[in-house]
Amino acid sequence: MVSARAQGFFLSRSPAVVATSETPVVVLGAGYAGVKLANELSRKTDGHVPILLVDRHPVHVVRTELYELGQLAEKGSDVRKWAIPIQRVIGRRGVVYREGTVEAIDLDRSVVTVSGEQQPYSGLGVCLGNVPAYYGVAGAESLYQVYRLSGAMRLAHALHRAEADSSALPAGERVRVVVVGGGSTGTEVAAEIATTDWRRLVGSSSRPPSVTLVCGALPFLSGLSGGLVEHARRLLHDAGVVVDEGRNVTGVQGSEMTLAGGGRLRFDIGVWAAGVEAPPLIRALPVPHGHGGRLAVEPTLQLPGHPSVFGVGDVIEMKDPRSGALIPQTAQAAVAEARVAAENLWRLRGGRSLLPFEFHQRGMIVSLGRTKAAGRVARVTIWGSPAALLKSLVEAEYRATAQSGRGAS
C-alpha cells in the first residue's frame, strides 16, 4: 500500500480521521461489500482518488464461515482463518484504512462521524452490514449468535466447556442445544454442532449434544429451491437434528423458551439465528427504508436524493426488476453490488450515466455438517460430499482472492 502522505493524505492527531487535499471517497465497513467497493474503485481510478475505508475492527471477518463452531472451538483464540488483517485485503493503490466506529452519517453536510471526529466525503459507500433482529421476543438477546466473530467465538467456547463437562451429567442426559431460525444460518449452525466430533476435541467420555432446530412460522429454508430443501431436511435428520416447524419462539426465560401455542423447550445452550436487520444508525437516516430498516436504494444503488451516496450489501433492500423478488442478503450479492457501486462512483466523477444493478445468482450451497452440504448451482441440485467439497473450494477461493488485495471475486 502507498503511504498516506504519498496519496495526498495528511493525518490529523486523531487516528480516526484523515484531512486531505482532496476530499476522499469514504467507504463505511470493511466486510464483503466495503472491501470490494474500495478495491474496485482504487483499481478503476488507478489510485488517483483518495479512498478512506473505515471499520471498527482491523480485520476483515470471513462471516460466511462463522458457522464452523467445531473448528472455532478447536482453535481457541487462534482465529486467523476467520479474521484477515485489513491491511492484507486492501489493494496497493490509494486505499487508506482507519480503525474507528461510525457513529453518524450527515447526508446533508456530506460528513460522517467516526469515533467522535467529523470526516467529510466526496462520495460515500455505506456498507455497514446488519445486526441481529429480535422481533420484540423478550429474552432473545441473552442467547448466543454467530452473526459476529466475537459471538461465534463465545458460542464455540461455551459448547467446548459444556461438552467437556457432559460426562458428569446424570445417566442418559446430554447437553441440550436449541438453535432458533430455520434459514440457512440456523441450519448450518445446527448441523455443524450435531456433526462435530466433540469426543476428539474434549475427551472420549463426553456425550454428543442433542440438537433441536426451531424453524418458527416460516417454512424451513424458506426461499430456497425444493430439491435443496429436501436434501437438507434428510441430511439434518441423518445428523440427528430434531427439526421443530411451524411455531415461533415467543419468549426466553433463563434456560427455557416459550413457543407459540404454549409449548416450552428447555436448553443448556440457546442460539438465536432468526434473522437480521439494519443497524440503528442506518434506521435513523432520513431516507426511504425497506424491511428491517434497510436502505431502499435506487436501481443504481444510490440513496434517493443523495446521488453521491451508495448503499451496498446487507444494509440495503432492493428488488430484482426481472423477477420482483428481493435480492438476497448474501456475500455473493454484496460483492456483485460493490462492483456496480464502484463503477457508478467512477462514472459519477466523469459525469457519465450510471448502470443499474442486475443480480445473477451463481448458486447457493448450505453446509449440513462437517462433510455434507446441499446446494443448487447452475440450475442443478447437488448434495452430500460433492456439495461440501464445492462449498469449501468456494470459501478457500474467497479467502485467497481477498488476501491478494482484490477483495474477493
Ligand X SMILES: Cc1cc2nc3c(=O)[nH]c(=O)nc-3n(C[C@H](O)[C@H](O)[C@H](O)COP(=O)(O)OP(=O)(O)OC[C@H]3O[C@@H](n4cnc5c(N)ncnc54)[C@H](O)[C@@H]3O)c2cc1C
By CB under 6 A, tell whether 34 contacts ligand X. Answer: yes
243-to-7, 149, 255 alpha-carbon distances in Å:
55, 26, 19
Q: Which is nearer to ligand X, 147 or 346 (CB)?
A: 147
Number of neighbouring beta carbons within 10 Å of residue 362: 11
Cβ 174 to ligand X shortest distance, Å: 24
Using CB under 6 A, pick the residue from 9, 67, 121, 398 that binds ligand X. Answer: 67
By CB under 6 A, tell whether 147 contacts ligand X. Answer: yes
Q: Which is nearer to ligand X, 30 or 158 (CB)?
A: 30
Using CB under 6 A, pick the residue from 14, 330, 404, 409 that binds ligand X. Answer: 330
By CB under 6 A, tell whether 102 contacts ligand X. Answer: yes
| Cell numbers representing residue 364 in the block | 447457493
Look at residues 217, 187, 170, 134 and name the one whose alpha carbon lies nearest to residue 372: 187
| Cell numbers representing residue 169 in the block | 451429567
Candidates 8-16, 245-253, 292-300, 310-318; binding stretch for ligand X (CB under 6 A): 310-318
By CB under 6 A, tell whether 29 contacts ligand X. Answer: yes
DSSP states of 25-52: EEEE--SHHHHHHHHHHHHHTTT-S-EE
Using CB under 6 A, pick the residue from 123, 332, 343, 368 that binds ligand X. Answer: 332
By CB under 6 A, tell whether 127 contacts ligand X. Answer: yes
By CB under 6 A, tell whether 231 contacts ligand X. Answer: no
CB of 365 within 8 A of CB of 375?
yes
DSSP states of 304-363: TTEEEEEE-GGGEE-B-TTT-PBPP-SHHHHHHHHHHHHHHHHHHHTTPPPPPP-----E
By CB under 6 A, tell whether 89 contacts ligand X. Answer: no
Candidates 24-32, 132-140, 223-231, 300-308; binding stretch for ligand X (CB under 6 A): 24-32
Cβ within 8 Å of residue 93, ≥6 positions away: 1, 2, 42, 43, 46, 47
User: Which residues make up the interface to ligand X (CB under 6 A)?
Assistant: 29-34, 54-57, 61, 63-64, 66-67, 101-102, 127-129, 146-147, 185, 188, 279, 281, 313-315, 329-332, 334
